[in-house]
Structures are given as C-alpha cells and as structure tokens.
Structure 1
C-alpha cells in the first residue's frame, strides 16, 4: 500500500468515478468527450466553475464539464489516479505522493508561489509564543497536504523536527473543530481557512514566507492529456483569464466567491492578496523545488520510494 492510498476516498465518489471512467480508463470515447474537474473552496477553479466560462468554451467542441468538490488535495489526487476525475489542483505536497502511486500522473501547469497563504497557528490565548515552544505539543495538519511539508520546514526553523511534536492528522474541518475546542495546541493550515481562523482570534507563529514556496499546481493524467490536449489547453487558457481578473479586481473576486464558500468577502480578499495567480508552464526550476519536497518526504520515510519529479511534467502542445 502506498502512502497516498492511506487517504480515504468516499466510497460513493470513487465508485461513481470509476464507472464514469470505464472501470479505470483515463479517457472518454471520442463520441462522449468530457473533462471531470476536482476543485476545492479556494483558488481560480472554483471561480471558473461559478462563471460557467469553461462550459461555454468547450461546448463547440462537443465537450461536457463535470465538477467534483474535495476538502483538500490528497483525496482529490487519489480520485485522479483512480480515474474518477481528469483534472485537479492542489498545493505542492500532494503531487509528490500521487506520482508515487501512478506512472501516468502529470503536472500540466502551476500558479506562482503563495508562501504567505499558509501558516502555523495557535489560539489567541495560548501561552505558546515561539515555534520552539511547540516541543511536546499536539499539532494538527492534513496528512500529505501542502502544509505537511510547510510544518516540517517551519519546525526546522524553530530547531525542532516532526518527532518533537505530536501530530494530529486531520482534514481542515476536523482540524478547525479540534483547534477551537482545545484538543490540539497548534494548527498548520492554508487559506481561506487560515484567514477565517485569524478572524476568529487565532495567532500566527509563522507563515510560509522565507520557509516554503507553496506553488499551486494544475494536474492531470498523462493519457488524458495526450488524447485531449485541446481540452487541457482550453481549460488552462480559461484559468488564465480568471487569474488575470482576480489580479485586476480582487475585491470583486472576493465578493463573488464569498457566497460560494461561506466566508465573508473581506476575509477572502485578505486570502486572495496572499495567493499567487497567473497560470504558467512548469519550469525546470519549479520541478527542482518539487524534487526537494519529494526528497524530504523520502528522508522522513513518509514516501515509500524515490521519484524524479521531472518525469511527470507534461507540456501541453498546440
């Protein structure tokens, strides 16, 4: 069993995805083309879904669009590797585990770094004032998420390692409940959950600035990309338009996103300001940063075998 396979994917979603994918096939037939997109309640994809622009773009090509929501990255990429979805977006750590699980896993693009959009938090009234004071304390983090790697590096900044703290592997909703009721002493989390926790009185020990890059990646299956490069290219182009709009009008983007995710617009505007936007091809420099993450998790024995990140990069051609 690989590291990634330990993340539970809801049985109904997996069964439905496998059925849609033809019991694991990665692509639909030419007569029934579609793109099934996994998204979270943050970033450009959810705004693209809300606007319906991708459906309009792909309709002349006879391509349908289906959407599936996930709470965080690892279960989304398990669904991608299982053939339940065709396109996904996550932070920098989940792809490392996903590549171990599938030789067809593919990076197709990324947004710029968002180092300030994740943080290590403590309750506002906590006596903990520094990272070093977390020794022996319980820290909540989503296993395999972007904040898992951030937590490793943040603890290093404070002279600690993962072995020096008690880890509570919790999905964001469960982690927030544990954080609020005092079951955990600290929480490594990303926006917009980070912004919401701040507004509720949480205090930041450190964000990712100067610690991690925190790229946001757009991901697919190599076989799907090879057979549907026009669909992937169109999707990335529509995402670029959304990114450009968010950069130009962050307040409007926050107001549009607010009713979708149930977070007040001012908090979302703060989260948007900390996030990098602007879809780009994955460069060798970005791949090298990902390789550092893979090597770190391998050293920690959280990754079962070494990988070469550059092997999973697919350029979307005309």
Structure 2
C-alpha cells in the first residue's frame, strides 16, 4: 500500500513510509516503553531451572511462537526453558543474563537497543501479517479503522501491535492523538474487551484466535502494513561462550519448524496442550501465523533500521538507534 507524499510537518504528526518502494513493508511490533511487562519463568517443571545455566542453553520463548513447538516436542533436551508473556519481558531477561537466546517480534529489539540492552539478531522468519489484527464488537458498527477516531484501543506495550497501530494511523491519515490508547497486557485486555471497557483490541495469535468469538469482527490485520516477523535474539556472552550450542539449537529450531509446516495436523495436536487452547483454535491460529525461519539479510537489517528511524522521528525512542550493527549473519547457513 502506498500513500501520497506528505510534507515534513505531516510526517512529524504521524509516521512516514520509510523506504517506500525500496524494501518490503516494515514489520509488526513496537512499543512506547522500554520497561518490560511481567514475565512468567518456566513452564511446569521448567520454572525451577529458569535462569540457571548448568552448561545448558537458556532459552526464552513466548506461548505460540515458533519455539513453542521445539519445546512441546522435547526436541532440544539440552535447553532450559523460560516462558514470557511478551517480547519486552523477554528482552529484559536477556539484559539480566537470565536467558541466552529468545524469540520476539520486530519492535522489542528496537526498544531494547534504545534501552542499551546488549544482544545480537541472528535469525528471523518469513512475514506473518495475518497473525495480528484489530478486533471490535460487531454490535458497535465500526466499518473501518477510521471509525475508531476518539475511541479507546487496547494493546500491549512494546509489542508488534503497537507498531501496527502506528501504521494503521498513518494509512488513515490519523495521529496518535486521534485515539485513546490503553496499554494492557493480553491477560488484562481480554476481559476489558469482552466487557466493553475498550472499543477495540489490537492483538496477536494465539490471543487473537482465542478472542474470535461470535459477535467479534476483524476490523483489519497487518496485510500491506507490517511484516510482523519473528526475530531470534542472543546475548553477546552466549555467542562467545556457546556458539556450538547455539548452532545446534538453531538447526533443531529450523528442522522442527519445517516439520510443523509440513505436518499441520500433527503440529496442532502437539501444540494445543502446550498452548493450553483447544485444537480448533490452535489450528486456525497456526494456519495463518506459523511461518518458516529465514536468514538475516541486509534487507532485513534495513527493515529494522527503518522501524527504529520511524520511532525516533515520532520521539518514541530517544535519538538514533543503530539496528544494522546488531544484525549478525554467522548462522545464516543454518536458516537458508
């Protein structure tokens, strides 16, 4: 989707199309705060080991993200797992040294870098634009995102959906001041949405799929606006101390992801208990959101840099953030 050129004054009120016509649309995820949301360490019996090295690779994951299948299949027995509700919480764990490697969306790396958290970006995924969306109640009669002017929109700080909000505002010639944004974690936003305490909820899978109940309408997704990729982050210390373990883990991550895409029914059966959702909901979410891994190329670095520059322009991050220097392609051969 392209838009007419705007004056510098207009661009300061909303986000410009950086790199228009020169690279794929920027990916989903963003935030307005460097502070992380709460994290839940471990999953079941894993919590006792979370943050304890013991020579193992410490892996941070989010429920439903690509790493969930690796964990559910017990495909990486030499890993210690920690579960996080969102990307910002995971990047804070990287900062604290509680994990070596983890998977997030595209905005958390930008805000983590702005917050001086040390990490490298060693992998990504193919775009997942249909995996995040704006949900509204059909009874409210909203027909397009423009109808949300003056309304209250719930979303999670520091996540892909915050970037999608900015992109949607730009597409409809609106600014952040045109809507009332209420920053809520998914566990808080769902009841607020169900009880009509907010007019819209911008959310990602599997929370997205879980909220697709009778009377709920998808007002828009990220198609044509945001790539909504996953990114694999690793601490510099782990890169130095555990390169062979990282490579082996990435090989497992890649092969497991490929297996899941080739075997969707088996993937759903395995993942539904891990995700704690029913199989039909899991299948719907996975069908649109599970994508292959991909190497980090100069074009991927440019996408991230453009997002960072856009948020700098909006004064949502303090000053220039250099994302290109954080891209490390030494494992690209595993991910091609």
CA distance in 1, matches of 2:302, 2:315: 20
* 1:267 is the counterpart of 2:281: yes
SS of equivalent residue, structure 1 residue 69: strand
SS at match of 1:199: coil
- Secondary structure at the aligned position of 2:255 is classed as helix
- The offset of 1:312, in angstroms, is 0.6
Report the equivalent of 2:320: 306
Kindly report which structure 2 residues correspond to 1:161-240, keeping only aligned pairs within 5 A, or say none. 161-240=175-254
Counterpart contact for 2:40–2:82, Cα < 8 Å: no
State the match for 1:53 in structure 2: 75
Give 1:44 deviation, angstroms.
Answer: 2.2
Output the CA distance in 2 between the equivalents of 1:226 and 1:139. 43
SS in 2 for 1:167: strand
CA distances 1:71-129 after superposition (whole Å, capped 9, x unpaired): 11111111111211111111111111111223621101011100111111111322221
Is 1:6 the counterpart of 2:31? The answer is no
Q: Provide structure 1 residue ranges, at least 5 long, that are not aligned to the other structure.
A: 22-27, 56-63
**For 1:256 and 1:12, how far apart are their aligned partners in 2?**
21
8 Å Cα contact 1:111-1:215 kept in structure 2: yes
Partner of 2:165: 151
Aligned length: 297
Which of 60, 66, 69 matches 1:38?
60
Quick check: which one's helix share is greater? 1
| Structure 2 SS opposite 1:53 | coil
Question: What is the SS of the residue equivalent to 1:274?
Answer: helix
CA separation of 1:3 and 1:224: change in aligned 2, threshold 3 A: farther
User: 1:306 deviation in Å?
Assistant: 1.3
- Conserved in 1, the CA contact under 8 Å of 2:37 and 2:86? no
Whole-angstrom CA distance in 1 between matches of 2:102 and 2:322:
20
Partner SS, residue 139 of structure 2: coil
Q: CA deviation at 1:202?
A: 1.7
Q: Which runs of 5+ in 2 are unaligned?
A: 1-30
- The range that moved more, 165-174 or 37-46, is 37-46
Q: Could you tell me how far apart the structure 2 residues matched to 1:263 and 1:208 are?
A: 24
Instruction: Determine if contact 2:34/2:158 at 8 Å carries over to the other structure.
Output: no
Q: Residue 315 of structure 1: CA displacement?
A: 2.6
Measure the CA separation in 2 of the matches of 1:20 and 1:173.
24
Partner of 1:24: none
1:290 and 2:319 are equivalent in the alignment: no
Conserved? CA contact 2:133–2:218, under 8 Å: yes
